[in-house]
Amino acid sequence: MIALVVLCLVLLVCWFRRKRSRNDILNYPPGPKPWPIIGSLHLLGQHSSPFEAFTVLSRIYGNIFSINLGSTPCVVVNNLDLIKEVLITKGGDFDSRPDFIRFHMLFGGNRNNSLALCDWSDLQKTRRSIARTYCSPRFTSLQYDMVANVGTDEITTFLHEIQKLPVNTPINIKPLVLKACANMFTQYMCSTSFSYDDEEFRKVVRYFDEIFWEINQGYAVDFLPWLLPFYKNHMKKISHWSSEIRQFILGRIIDDHRATLDYNSPPRDFTDALLMHLEEDPNMNWQHIIFELEDFIGGHSAVGNLVMMTLVSLIQHPHVAKRVQKEVDEITANSRAPSLLDKSMMPYTEAVIWETLRKASSPIVPHVSSTDTELFGFNIPKGTMIFINNYDLNVSSDYWENPNEFIPERFLSASGNVVKPNHFIPFSTGKRTCIGQRLVQCFSFIILATLLQKYDLTAEGKIDVKPGCVAVPPDCFKVILSPRSS
């Protein structure tokens, strides 16, 4: 009891000192008055997603406002000009990431091992540049052809596995979708794939998915680190997932690769490129290689979850599914499977994926100011967490007609080509923009076009998805697949 009282007193003193120091800053953005200890965390709890809360608060305090979450000073930016200022014009001043304990737990005790959760550094610049060729393949490149071939091969296995499941009855399709995505990634990046019956593979795919869900959640301990003792088991669980994944990647992927690597030939794949770089660059070490590969293989969970979200869109809007089916039938003349090479001729299907991303409105990982700086005349001290409210960009009637409706056509020009407005930035923009977006577009397209070519999709009852999130829970809704009737 005495310890608790002392702890509360210490926290109160810290809070008052911090409050005074933030109030001392001239021209700090306005915002709600924080409560002791929890700051304004209670304001977020009143909404279905924190970004919805930010949108509501922006109507009161303006497009740039400050908010204390626990003891963390944060600033939220809500319109396109401000967002571009943070991500592009002053990208160098806002290139760090939050220092959440969970992020450290997920990456071997140090979040700087992760490409997405690290602060900016020369190492990060190198890691991004090695990844670019493979994870952002250009349309006419050798790598793009590899993506197409890998997609076509894996989809044959995927369909074969799907055909083992009963039709016209609810099935748990997510594990299969994730395994297909995982094999596409490991085949493309490591020239290795795994049997769907492989127990270790099944477990690791599940752990990756758990981690993807985890990263997409917010926890009180992120902002109130003194709650850590209450999260001991949770932290143990997430570091267990990541160490199992690491062992799998080492034992089942890298060891083999090293044994067959020929330093005198061009790299066979991303894993070769990483291993070769290790020899050439004294600033890279073994840990960097493992974590980089793990990060990128983990991208398959993002693709799998986006596919699941798109299935929800299609189930909820059968007329949209019918139009995708018509497009795929026309392109393949019903005589072959769709492939990545059909994508440029199937703009509607692509537009369905964009519209799903818009509606899902996946948050941009928060940035943190790496120096004292200024934003639209407001002073922003080093270490301020910056929330980029792209939810507002995606759902505001200032930017979209009928924003609550699911209308893929909004991404099509009058001549039927895919067009993306400047204010649509699901993969962010600037210095820390997503490196995996081309892989997302390619692999999700192949899976969805193939499924729709063969099946009508329905579900039992209503499917609820969390707003402001592209992740669906590891154990989620079931889907009914019925062989195409028309």
Query: What is the DSSP pairing of strand 367-368 with strand 385-388?
Result: antiparallel
Considering only residues 453 to 472 of the shown chain, the ones binding ligand HEM according to CB under 6 A are 470
Q: Give min distance, CB of 86 to ligand HEM, in A.
A: 9
Contact pick of 69, 77, 221, 434 for ligand HEM (by CB under 6 A): 434
Q: Rank residues 71 and 216 by Cβ distance to ligand HEM and give the closer one.
A: 216
Contact pick of 427, 457, 467, 478 for ligand HEM (by CB under 6 A): 427
If binding is defined by CB under 6 A, does position 432 make contact with ligand HEM?
Answer: yes
Q: Give min distance, CB of 194 to ligand HEM, in A.
A: 18
Q: Give min distance, CB of 209 to ligand HEM, in A.
A: 13
Contact pick of 101, 116, 159, 276 for ligand HEM (by CB under 6 A): 116
Q: Rank residues 123 and 224 by Cβ distance to ligand HEM and give the closer one.
A: 123
Q: Give min distance, CB of 405 to ligand HEM, in A.
A: 21
CB-hemisphere CA count at 13 Å for 24? 7
Contact pick of 69, 123, 290, 440 for ligand HEM (by CB under 6 A): 440
Does residue 74 have a known ligand-binding role?
Answer: no
Stretch of 205-213, 325-333, 410-418, 430-438 lying at the interface with ligand HEM (CB under 6 A) = 430-438
Q: Rank residues 87 and 321 by Cβ distance to ligand HEM and give the closer one.
A: 87
Q: Rank residues 174 and 331 by Cβ distance to ligand HEM and give the closer one.
A: 174
d(CA 302, CA 430): 20
Q: Rank residues 189 and 480 by Cβ distance to ligand HEM and give the closer one.
A: 189
Q: Rank residues 34 and 298 by Cβ distance to ligand HEM and give the closer one.
A: 298
Contact pick of 38, 64, 106, 115 for ligand HEM (by CB under 6 A): 115
Q: Cβ-closest residue to ligand HEM?
A: 436
Stretch of 153-161, 224-232, 339-347, 423-431 lying at the interface with ligand HEM (CB under 6 A) = 423-431
Three-state secondary structure along the chain?
Answer: CHHHHHHHHHHHHHHHHHHHHHHCCCCCCCCCCCECCCECHHHHCCCCCHHHHHHHHHHHHCCEEEEEECCEEEEEECCHHHHHHHHHHCHHHHCECCCCHHHHHHCCCCHHHCCCCCCCCHHHHHHHHHHHHHHCCCCCCHHHHHHHHHHHHHHHHHHHHHHCCCCCCEECCHHHHHHHHHHHHHHHHHCCCCCCCCHHHHHHHHHHHHHHHHHCCCCHHHHCHHHHHHHHHHHHHHHHHHHHHHHHHHHHHHHHHHHHCCCCCCCCCHHHHHHHHHHHCCCCCHHHHHHHHHHHHCHHHHHHHHHHHHHHHHHHCHHHHHHHHHHHHHHHCCCCCCCHHHHHHCHHHHHHHHHHHHHHCCCCCCEECCCCEEECCEEECCCCEEEECHHHHHHCCCCCCCCCCCCHHHHECCCCCECCCCCCCCCCCCCCCCCCHHHHHHHHHHHHHHHHHHEEEECCCCCCCCCCCCCCCCCCCCEEEEECCC
Q: Rank residues 311 and 434 by Cβ distance to ligand HEM and give the closer one.
A: 434
Stretch of 71-79, 159-167, 235-243, 427-435 lying at the interface with ligand HEM (CB under 6 A) = 427-435
Q: Give min distance, CB of 231 to ligand HEM, in A.
A: 25
List Cα–Cα distances, 402 to 24, 374, 406, 407, in angstroms.
43, 35, 9, 9
Q: Give min distance, CB of 435 to ligand HEM, in A.
A: 5
Q: Rank residues 248 and 354 by Cβ distance to ligand HEM and give the closer one.
A: 354
Considering only residues 351 to 390 of the shown chain, the ones binding ligand HEM according to CB under 6 A are 362, 364-365, 367
d(CA 452, CA 203): 28
Considering only residues 121 to 140 of the shown chain, the ones binding ligand HEM according to CB under 6 A are 128, 135
Considering only residues 268 to 307 of the shown chain, the ones binding ligand HEM according to CB under 6 A are 295-296, 299, 302-303, 306
Token output for 272: 């070769």
Q: Give min distance, CB of 134 to ligand HEM, in A.
A: 9
Positions that interact with ligand HEM (CB under 6 A) = 87, 115-116, 128, 135, 295-296, 299, 302-303, 306, 362, 364-365, 367, 426-428, 432-436, 439-440, 470
Binding-site residues for heme, please? 434
Binding-site residues, please? 434
